[in-house]
């Protein structure tokens, strides 16, 4: 997997300030660890303060430098809370990288999903990405450098039944990111999207990958995020071959695309889930 020792010619993240949201668990925690291992100064932002502290302590101990990793409480749906996270980061140094990773995935049929669940999904998954980008981008533009990495999803390109609102929020992240890149790139600021398929985390509990695909690990996604910062590009899928499958399918007529989706079991990925395995997560994600 990518590492600074294998890519000495790539831009370094050593001693740069990196903010990762939703970093107490899963993809966010793995991403914070990867940046810390690469020598960055990392802020572990999460709504769960105790879990964030535990993650920061564990990552700091693993890299042999506890002072390199800090835990910060953040509610990404609250602009003031997000602004306080950025202010704490900037007191440490200019924010060079923001990883908008915080996200939730309540699943259910569109006509059965509650209004509060819909509002929270959009607030966490999409509105917070806009908020975070707007908070860090002015300083990045002023310095003429910086990188915002938004963790979207494969369903930000392929809408699946059973996750209409979640998919809409991730489609929004991709669209927002592409437009933001057009505005910020002339000022030296990169904006990227990372699109994982099913990842073996609590968020995807009870969800089965489509035929021919295995669930990827949080560490694989984290490696991709770090590599995207070192070698900027707009859109990267995890695993990489999923992008080719998407483009191949997307070139087909709708009827053929639906038949392929059914053959792969993709059309049932978010409708035929293990509700028992997801019960605890759904309870917390619904807030």
- Which are the catalytic amino acids? 166
| Whether 97 contacts 106, CB under 8 Å | no
Three-point CA angle 180, 132, 166, nearest 5°: 80
The length of the chain is 287
Question: Of 2, 92, 66, which Cα lies nearest the Cα of 38?
Answer: 2
Q: How far is Cα 221 from Cα 196, in angstroms, rounded to an integer?
A: 7
Q: Is 88 helix (H, G, I), strand (E, B) or coil?
A: helix
Question: Of 156, 173, 165, which Cα lies nearest the Cα of 286?
Answer: 165
DSSP letters, 94-131, are -EEEEEE---------GGGS-HHHHHHHHIIIIIHHHH
Q: How far is Cα 285 from Cα 118, in angstroms, rounded to an integer?
A: 11
Query: Helices 128-143 and 79-92 meet at what angle, rounded to 10?
Result: 30
**Residue 110: beta bridge partners?**
none
Q: Is 270 exposed, middle or buried (0-12, 13-18, 19+ CB in 10 A)?
A: buried
Could you say which DSSP state residue 156 is in? G
């Amino acid at each position: 997997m990518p590492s600074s020792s294998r890519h000495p010619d790539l831009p370094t993240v050593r001693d740069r300030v990196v903010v990762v949201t939703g970093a107490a668990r899963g993809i966010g925690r793995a991403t914070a660890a990867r940046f810390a291992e690469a020598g960055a100064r990392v802020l572990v932002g999460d709504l769960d303060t105790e879990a964030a502290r535990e993650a920061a302590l564990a990552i700091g101990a693993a890299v042999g430098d506890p002072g390199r990793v800090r835990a910060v409480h953040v509610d990404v749906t609250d602009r003031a809370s997000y602004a306080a996270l950025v202010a704490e980061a900037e007191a440490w140094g200019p924010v060079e990288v923001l990883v908008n990773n915080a996200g939730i995935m309540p699943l259910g049929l569109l006509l059965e999903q509650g209004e509060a669940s819909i509002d929270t999904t959009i607030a966490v998954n999409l509105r917070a990405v806009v908020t975070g980008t707007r908070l860090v981008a002015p300083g990045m533009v002023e310095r003429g450098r910086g990188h915002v990495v938004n963790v979207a999803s494969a369903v930000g390109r392929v809408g699946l039944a059973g996750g209409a609102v979640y998919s809409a929020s991730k489609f929004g992240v991709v669209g927002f990111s592409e437009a933001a890149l057009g505005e910020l790139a002339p000022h030296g600021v990169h904006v990227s999207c990372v699109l994982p398929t099913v990842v073996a985390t609590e968020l995807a509990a009870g969800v089965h990958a489509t035929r021919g695909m295995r669930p990827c690990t949080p560490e694989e996604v984290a490696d991709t995020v770090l590599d995207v910062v070192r070698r900027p590009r707009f859109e990267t899928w995890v695993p990489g071959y999923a992008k080719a499958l998407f483009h191949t399918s997307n070139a087909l007529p709708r009827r053929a695309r639906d038949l392929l989706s059914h053959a792969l079991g993709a059309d049932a990925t978010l409708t035929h889930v293990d509700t028992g395995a997801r019960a605890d997560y759904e309870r917390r994600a619904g807030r």
